[in-house]
Amino acid sequence: MKTFQLLVRACLVALALDCSFSWADVFKMSCDVEGAISQLDDKKLPPAKVVVEIQSIGKNIFINLIGPKLYEMRISSLSTEKFLGKNLTNAEHLGVSSKSTENAQMSEIVIGREKVFLKAYRDTQYAGALVRVNFQGPCALP
């Protein structure tokens, strides 16, 4: 828990001071998640273990989820021509959201600080339709 809090504090200090970092270390932890697709009558997805990678570079936060295809995500607070990113970090959680400027698909990852609990969603094509995959679950700190 202390490692996660130290990482979050370091990210917040960097954002507050608007300093530039070189490539930062990647913080990793694993989470057991379960998902559902609400547009398909809350179709349940198989539970899975995902690895969360968190990195801060400058004033931007990058979060990768590595796991089964429907749970995989790579988003950041960085805004580019293709994506509009937003830092959702506050006193209760660390988080990032992103929206594609090409197809309006959205993604969001929020990790609670107190219980270290992951909540996320991503828009994706599934069975020929655009759907939102929602998932959540507890995380274990290294």
* Model pLDDT, residue 38: 86
Which pLDDT value is given to residue 82?
Answer: 93
Regarding the domain delimited by 2-140, which CATH topology (the fold level of the hierarchy) does it fall under? Answer: Porin (2.40.160)
Rg (CA), the chain: 15
Delimit the domains of the chain by residue range.
2-140
| Stated pTM of the model | 0.79
Instruction: Kindly state the average pLDDT of the residues 53-71.
Output: 93
Q: 55, 53, 94: which is closest to 72 by C-alpha? A: 53
Q: By the 8 A CB rule, do 37 and 132 touch?
A: yes
Tokens of 69: 């295809």
pLDDT level of residue 101 (50, 70, 90 thresholds): very high
